[in-house]
Chain A
């Protein structure tokens, strides 16, 4: 029989928070997502030193500093690449990636596609508020084409919004879910499932921007949980995503692709490798 592992006392959600005060506006949805993340970590029982939160640039990308975990607040758009490197080099760590719609789908769009494809065991939580908050309210890739709220695009963007769930499914993500910041417990549960599922897990969280998109406070009244069971059938998941108005929450897809794994065998030392250069 195996010896019982010495159990550390379970950490509470607040143990995963730092004492650093967020820069967010009062009423921002990201406060709630931060709580969901710490709640999920507590439920997962992850040791603080064995988890890392990786982000790029933007309001929601500030999250690493508000946790008590290891973190990396990198450059704009490259969070998934940083996280991929970390996860492949250190497969023993639990790696979360957090960020916004601009960081993930615009400047980081290519990395989003390839992170889905590569299927490294990461959980990517995107706080989608359909606006660039940190630069004071410009249209983002998920902004509706007719939104005229920015001086940069006074007649609306005239461009179809990016469909993160559909794109992620097509690109090969292994787990797809959507939540809303007005339901922190629900989001926490999605994150728990996402972390537990192997491979690349994508959680889109509708997270209101009270400052530049005050109308988003209505989101809580529009959003509703899905009553359907999560599917592993990609065509069914695709139909559900494309038929949806973007306000159904829940798990849309649970794939069974094996996660990207680095080979772990070591069968040589450097001086063995050098032999082939000898004449």
Chain B
């Protein structure tokens, strides 16, 4: 992991873009871990199709990830012959096996470590300048003293030397320096988007793979005069967030599937009491505890349909690492403007991937809740307005005293079981979501043609890349990636797929959750294919390309 991170940082400094996804075993500390890097002189939207170079530090660990490591005849596999013979399953891929005698090469280097040697070899093979790598290592190891730094630097130099004798493999083209590039993970980007949108209070309970959002937010909220509370459980998290928001402060909680399940009752409270709140769900494999460290898009149903009663709310989804910043910021704006709950879906792949990307622009969306001024007479908190949004009095505002309630209520906020009040409030809460102008942000639409690929979330990266390849091959294809999942933008969506004859739906769930949701709203063209696969294996561009090209 450390070496992977350094390689990404060195590439970033040399003007390249890229990303590092990680795959871990269930161990608390140590245990097997795999770092997957993809580097390029251009934008990298997703993990690639196959592996060009694999370094195996030990076969037992490597084998645990074999399903995630796509090797072929063009792949190089570097390994230490002293670690024993390569397993059949690796040899059967036809990959070229290259000796990398860690032990022998590190013999003369006091304190030399295999991962630094590996880093040097990799950097040498793909053509990263040695100085760029050494500079990163120096920065990273400054605090560990000159001895540790010398050992690592020597290991890296030995790696570069060893790489010169190895077979040629893919090399990076010229990097482009100068652009404003960031090195950021999806989870950090969510945190940043939240702050940009105006979130100043967060309550949450640790859960994989969402915890990094909280770890990033805790100190940074403090810098801004805000606060993060580690709650006793998710039931408390969501209620603390709603309580803070009732106090007039934009609030957020972040969790993963099991935590979202616990929060549902109170997300309904946010909807019924019209108290804005943002809930980020970093999806992982489910159901139940599922696969906590790996990605899946199978919480779509619960996010859309999990609330009891008729509870219209907002569901958004980030579709790239850098879009995590935009979607989180926009969702804060929506929740606050609409005085409702916004569930923001990302997933383990987006959240825990570290990417080198162009600076995610600040969209300018900022929490702007419609509040009631002081000195009101006969204030009606839940006044039935044309827009459906009614001004909210914030505690401290004289004349605005009201009781927020999960019970159905009359316009002044008194509990009511009258049919008339129920209908008026149901329609008000639906209307404010339906009438709002979401602009062009509801989806990312690219390209044109007879074929449309409809997708969402982290599948957007591989779909985007597959569509690019199809266009290069002369096939017209349109990509529609939905950022606003609820309320569904039926008119805009119909327009976006107008004239399309074939539709491919791509998602990472076993039960075709997304396809069924889209289908419930539209009569899709007759020719529909669904590429729905569960996690944890990533959806690869080549698989989607294949489906676009071979339409049968």
Contact = CB atoms under 8 A, between A and B. Distances in A.
Contact of A81 (B196, B224, B235): B235
A144 interface: no
A270 B396 contact: no
A64 interface: yes
Nearest to A110: B232
Nearest to B235: A78
B400 interface: yes
A6 interface: no
A85 B224 contact: no
Contacts of A93: 247, 395-396
Contacts of A197: none
Contacts of B403: 64-65, 70-73
B181 A49 contact: no
Contacts of A84: 229, 236, 240, 243
Interface string B243-255: 1111111010000
Interface string B501-528: 0000000000000000000000000000
A70 B402 contact: yes
A73 B275 CA distance: 12
Interface stretch (B30-38, B112-120, B182-190): B182-190
Contacts of B200: 89
A269 interface: yes
Most buried by B among A20, A52, A113, A268: A52
Nearest to B236: A81
A49 B239 contact: no
A90 interface: yes
B482 interface: no
A262 to B, nearest CB: 4
A86 B236 contact: no
Contacts of B245: 85, 89
Interface string B180-205: 11111000100010011000110100
A85 B201 contact: yes
Contact of B225 (A52, A82, A266): A266
A195 interface: no
Contacts, number: 177
B397 interface: yes
Given A72-B243, A86-B243, A279 B356 contact: yes
Interface stretch (B149-157, B404-412, B489-497): B404-412
A93 B396 CA distance: 8
A186 B237 CA distance: 35
Interface string A104-145: 000000110110000000000000000000000000000000
B233 interface: yes
B240 A85 contact: yes
A140 B406 CA distance: 23
A1 interface: no
B239 A78 contact: yes
A89 B247 contact: yes
A52 B406 contact: no
Contact of A266 (B180, B224, B241, B396): B224
Nearest to B188: A277
A264 B225 contact: yes
Given A71-B403, A110-B232, A111-B236, A48 B247 contact: no
Interface in A77-104: 77-78, 81-90, 92-93
A49 B196 contact: no
Interface residues of A, number: 50
Interface string B354-388: 00100100100000000000000000000000000
Given A85-B239, A111-B232, A272 B396 contact: no
Given A81-B231, A85-B244, A88-B201, A74 B406 contact: yes
Contacts of A20: 414
A235 interface: no
B415 interface: yes
Interface in B200-231: 200-201, 203, 220, 222-225, 227, 229, 231
A201 B242 CA distance: 22
A48 B251 contact: no
A73 B227 contact: no
Given A85-B239, A277-B188, A49 B396 contact: yes
A20 B203 CA distance: 34
Contact of B223 (A50, A52, A114, A267): A267
B44 to A, nearest CB: 15
A265 interface: yes
Contacts of B201: 85, 88-89
A3 interface: no
Most buried by A among B182, B196, B242, B246: B246
A144 to B, nearest CB: 29
B543 interface: no
A270 B240 contact: no
B227 A262 contact: yes
A274 interface: yes
Contacts of B539: none
A74 B242 contact: yes
Interface string B414-425: 110000000000
Contacts of A273: 192, 195, 220, 223-224
Contacts of B180: 278
B244 to A, nearest CB: 3
A116 to B, nearest CB: 11
B401 A68 contact: yes
Contact of A272 (B223, B247, B398): B223
B399 interface: yes
Contacts of A111: 232, 235-236
B400 A49 contact: yes
A49 B243 contact: no
22 contacts: A48-B401, A65-B403, A70-B401, A71-B403, A71-B404, A72-B246, A73-B406, A73-B415, A74-B273, A75-B265, A81-B240, A85-B203, A85-B239, A89-B249, A111-B232, A264-B225, A266-B224, A269-B224, A273-B224, A277-B182, A277-B192, A278-B181
Given A85-B241, A277-B359, 17 more contacts: A65-B414, A70-B400, A71-B402, A72-B273, A72-B403, A73-B404, A73-B415, A74-B269, A75-B268, A82-B246, A85-B203, A85-B246, A85-B251, A86-B244, A89-B248, A93-B395, A277-B192
Sort A-B residue pairs by CB-CB distance and give the 8 closest, nearest first. A85-B243, A85-B240, A89-B244, A266-B225, A81-B239, A90-B247, A71-B403, A82-B243
Interface of B: 12-13, 180-184, 188, 192, 195-196, 200-201, 203, 220, 222-225, 227, 229, 231-233, 235-237, 239-249, 251, 265-266, 268-269, 273, 356, 359, 362, 393, 395-407, 414-415
